[in-house]
Structure 1
Amino acid sequence: MKTIVFDLVIIGGGINGCGIARDAAGRGLSVFLCEKNDLASGTSSASTKLIHGGLRYLEYYEFRLVKEALREREILLTHAPHIVWPLRFILPHHKGLRPSWLIRLGLFLYDHMGHRKLLPPTSTVNLATDEAGIVLKKNYRKGFEYSDCRVLDSRLTILNALDAADLGAEIHTGTSFVSAKRVEDTWHIELFNSNRKEKQIIRSKVLINATGPWLDSVLDTLPHSENGEHIRMVKGSHIVVKSLFNHDRAYIFQNDDGRIIFAIPYEDRFTLIGTTDVDYHGNPDDVEISPEEIRYLCESAGEYFTTPITPEDIVSSFSGIRPLFDDGRNEAKAATRDYVLKLDAPDNRTPLLSIYGGKITTYRKLAESVLKKLEPFLPPMKQPWTATADLPGGNFPPDGFMEEVRKLLATCPDLSRETATRLMRTYGTLAKNMCRNLANEATFGPHFGHGLYGFEVDYLIDREWARSAEDILWRRTRLGLLFSPAETKLLDEYIRTHSPKEEIYAT
């Protein structure tokens, strides 16, 4: 067998790694991506589920980052309207914190920095008469309303991987990076596949460390020039409670410590509250919410909502690590969210590129920046292309979602409207292909509960690298909030008996 030398090997299957894989494969490069667990199993499924410019970053003069993020917000809303959609935010004015004129100035900049075209502008809101004020304490009488977007974060990651694979990239989950060494003009990279319990050696011209919170530990195993730079691990935690309000807008609350938290309508019957900013020094594999963070989120939200929120109200929680570039700032909330790319290429050969920081909103621009930086080391590439390309399933206009639901129901009338809406929100127009052979409910396959049938599970196993109930319930769909342990066990048993044997990849 002829030995393959990939143009790029990417370590890490989060949003940055998958975004780079998609962009590079679309430009004609040969790409291999390995992820030790599941795609989006780290930071990329533990975000606040927002595509936003980062209103509070204006206070830290991160104007370039905010401007870039706002432009990316428009691009993602246009090209991934199934998993990115508009959301209006209510910002109650807290008289003891930021003055009204400062908030107005920030929102004016926010409206005009990013060439906003698709979203409505900022407005004032009378919380004494608006329904958004009903659940708030009576001392909050005035507020502001502005636009951002929500996102299914893990779906964004997986759709990038899916498109990358369709363009020729090799995507391997359950495959850990072990070590790498430079041999003449190529990297020799040792991997371990946990499914087959065997090691493999692959070769590449370029190696990209996109491991996020694990960046420093991976660097420790690699030959590289020591520069003293590190990531700063900042933990962000969220809680989920039963719905606190009946409308479809979100809240952004100012806290007296200078931070903000969000309260966002979540999965129809819940409210998502977050996030915290806490320096973290442990193993990223062990991250979880602390009692102090739970208390902080409950008390911060309770400062605004009339109904107290207690730890007993929490139905779920999750935590993730933001792998920020350590810029020396004292407070975690002030550390830059911008990405930093560090290139190590002794003698101008066998480059290693390490990615520090980044936001889910700007992953696409990060990928373009990575390929631009690596251009001298790669074969001739096609031009940047992702700014005008739909993500899989996103080939319909941003205001056309309900029309696509109608088309899906016409294709498969035995689907409930609730299930059809969820399928369209999850897969976009790919759902029509998934359902095209479903003549009636008898052909749906086993029903695992809450509108999840065998046909969808089979698709996720065959096309989206799903290998466990956790993969499906928490990263491919958002049904984990509804499934009981018994239902989850039955789903896991089905997946074990239907998962294909892992293919042996070329070496």
Structure 2
Amino acid sequence: MNHPQTPSSSSPAGGACDVLVVGGGINGAGIARDLAGRGLSVLLAEQDDLASHTSSASTKLIHGGLRYLEYHEFSLVRKALAEREALLRSAPHIMRPLRFVMPHDPAMRPAWMIRAGLFLYDHLARREILPASRAVDLRRHAAGVPLKPEFRRGFVYSDGWVDDARLVVLAAIDAAERGARIATRCRVVRVARVGARWSATLQHRDGREETVTARALVNAAGPWASQFLREHAHLPEARSLRLVKGSHIVVPRLFEHDHAYIFQNPDRRIIFAIPYERDYTLIGTTDVEHHGPIGEVRIDADEIGYLCAQASRYFAQPVQPQDVVWTYSGVRPLLGNEGEDDAAAVTRDYELELRDDGAPLLSVWGGKITTFRKLAEEAADRLCGVLGVPGVSGQQGAAWTVDAPLPGGDLREWIGAPQRPDVDLQRFEQALARRHPQLPEALRGRWARAYGSRVDLLLEAGTLGAEVAPGLHEAELDYLHRHEWARSADDVLWRRSKLGLHMDEAAREQVARWCETRWQGAENGLEQAAR
């Protein structure tokens, strides 16, 4: 099998491709993957790291969006529900089924309304893996233990959890292994139609510029999509985007069981409380209009207070701002005009806008992680249509991703025929323990859930190497640099893993020094060779 491009081959000077994709979030990576798998030549350019903004700042859920039923978003919910199980099968190492508990607060919504909504949620799309919803007596269920005693009844339903940043990286790996070029830390500073092609100027982080041409351009810049059209393509943006900040807090673990919670709030919004990184609970999200620079988004004290207050309405142990050990925020690009609706009510659906008056331009407006594969498939279908690529089954141009595993997700060599994704992961961990008994148990479990069947690539050198920080060895860092475009400590500690949450400041600084010393020299040599 071919592996992703090394840094020396990811930035050749000049060139032409079929499609230039601008944006290395989940939609850009998904579109690059789909197109590369159809035989097109693809270049993806991302100004920062993969998943460094919105796509690593989600609530980490693969879900239909139960609350969207209340806003009559039946089409979006059906589409997202249909994607859940396909995604869970494609990457059982970074996704898992998750049961959600909704304590019943009669002041919020009557029980019959919740039952009706859950019935729809269970039946809007086919389910094979995830169990149906049911009512529970919280006085007898483990999920009732950490709650206030007045919450006696509840409902349990199914959705999924995902490591969002790793999902983006896996899509990019798959694209690269199918021939795409992935250029991170690479800004598209100018694009223009020249005849029947796009001409684009790319600027690398060392200031070096190169010009590439493409038959089609994909604007998957997320919250920057409108700005990209105005400032870099000098075109009017046809869609209005509403920029909404969503923030999350992480606190020490609030409960021992493996279920998550969905809490209804008096403002008719909801928040989730989710088991996170073994020792923590993730609580989110907020919906706040964002007016500042898109790349500079931080949680504020009001948001922290809101999340703590709403969680404390349900948990017997109050959640206090001083309990917060980490926060993260992202800007969601939603379809709609600023100020016209409550931000929580604005649709999470997407729209693909294709301009083919000359070289084709496809802009992606909106979207959510759960529907990324379907969005990418629809985008690729439309681009193949205008580029004249035939879509015959089994040949170039045909849709292919619905049953395709993501890198690391095909566990058959280790466990034989797949069963259920969660069971398959347990079987894989057992097989990994037999094949590599020398690996520490905690490390083995983390690697299984991060890398899946690619785990042998981390051991190509035959040794773990030095332990740079607790639980993080040179072998893993070398792998992340060679195969996953990691270029800084933040790339490693907060996106490709969440090890930063488990380390103290001294350990994080130690990783930063190692990356700067080891990787900066390698990058300087590659940049000189490219000149």
Q: 1:100 to 1:2 in 2, by over 3 A?
A: closer
Query: Are 1:250 and 2:260 an aligned pair?
Result: yes
Q: Write the distance in 2 (CA, Å) between the matches of 1:54 and 1:97.
A: 18
Q: Paired residue for 2:228, among 194, 214, 218? A: 218
Decide whether the 8 Å contact of 2:239 with 2:365 is kept in 1. Answer: no
Q: Write the distance in 2 (CA, Å) between the matches of 1:69 and 1:283.
A: 30
Match of 2:36 in 1: 25
Query: Are 1:107 and 2:127 an aligned pair?
Result: no
Shift of residue 327, structure 1, vs aligned partner: 5.5
Shift of residue 61, structure 1, vs aligned partner: 1.0
Query: Are 1:321 and 2:331 an aligned pair?
Result: yes
Decide whether the 8 Å contact of 1:11 with 1:33 is kept in 2. Answer: yes
Q: 1:324 to 1:186 in 2, by over 3 A?
A: same
TM, length-normalised to structure 1: 0.95
Q: Paired residue for 2:17, among 6, 29, 35? A: 6
Alignment of 1:20-419 (within 5 A): 20-194=31-205, 196-223=206-233, 226=236, 229-326=239-336, 329-346=340-357, 349-380=358-389, 381-396=396-411, 397=418, 398=421, 399-419=423-443
Decide whether the 8 Å contact of 2:304 with 2:321 is kept in 1. Answer: yes
Q: Paired residue for 2:518, among 476, 483, 498? A: 498
How big is each residue's C-alpha offset from its partner over 1:189-230, in whole Å with a ceiling of 9 and x where there is no partner? 011100x32111111111111111111211112446536522
Instruction: Give the number of equivalent residue pairs.
Output: 500
Decide whether the 8 Å contact of 1:411 with 1:432 is kept in 2. Answer: no
How big is each residue's C-alpha offset from its partner over 1:337-392, in whole Å with a ceiling of 9 and x where there is no partner? 0001122232xx21221111101000000001112222333242421000011100
Match of 2:454 in 1: 430
One-letter code of the match for 1:404? F
- Unpaired runs of 5+ residues, structure 1, are none
Shift of residue 433, structure 1, vs aligned partner: 3.2
Shift of residue 4, structure 1, vs aligned partner: 3.4
Q: Write the distance in 2 (CA, Å) between the matches of 1:384 and 1:57.
A: 28
Equivalent pairs: percent with the same residue? 48
Alignment of 1:455-494 (within 5 A): 455-494=475-514
How big is each residue's C-alpha offset from its partner over 1:384-419, in whole Å with a ceiling of 9 and x where there is no partner? 000011100101331211221122222221212111
Shift of residue 3, structure 1, vs aligned partner: 6.5
One-letter code of the match for 1:315? V
Shift of residue 503, structure 1, vs aligned partner: 6.4
Q: 1:108 to 1:416 in 2, by over 3 A?
A: same
Secondary structure in 2 matching 1:285: coil
Q: Write the distance in 2 (CA, Å) between the matches of 1:118 and 1:308.
A: 35
Q: Write the distance in 2 (CA, Å) between the matches of 1:225 and 1:255.
A: 42
Decide whether the 8 Å contact of 1:39 with 1:158 is kept in 2. Answer: yes
How big is each residue's C-alpha offset from its partner over 1:32-73, in whole Å with a ceiling of 9 and x where there is no partner? 001111000010100000000000011111111111111110
Q: Write the distance in 2 (CA, Å) between the matches of 1:42 and 1:444.
A: 31
Q: Write the distance in 2 (CA, Å) between the matches of 1:477 and 1:401.
A: 18
Decide whether the 8 Å contact of 1:207 with 1:353 is kept in 2. Answer: yes
Q: Write the distance in 1 (CA, Å) between the matches of 2:528 and 2:353.
A: 32
One-letter code of the match for 1:173? T
Q: Write the distance in 2 (CA, Å) between the matches of 1:461 and 1:227.
A: 36
Decide whether the 8 Å contact of 1:234 with 1:280 is kept in 2. Answer: yes
Q: Write the distance in 2 (CA, Å) between the matches of 1:140 and 1:158.
A: 41
Q: Write the distance in 1 (CA, Å) between the matches of 2:159 and 2:429.
A: 23
Q: Write the distance in 1 (CA, Å) between the matches of 2:233 and 2:494.
A: 36
Q: Write the distance in 2 (CA, Å) between the matches of 1:2 and 1:334.
A: 46
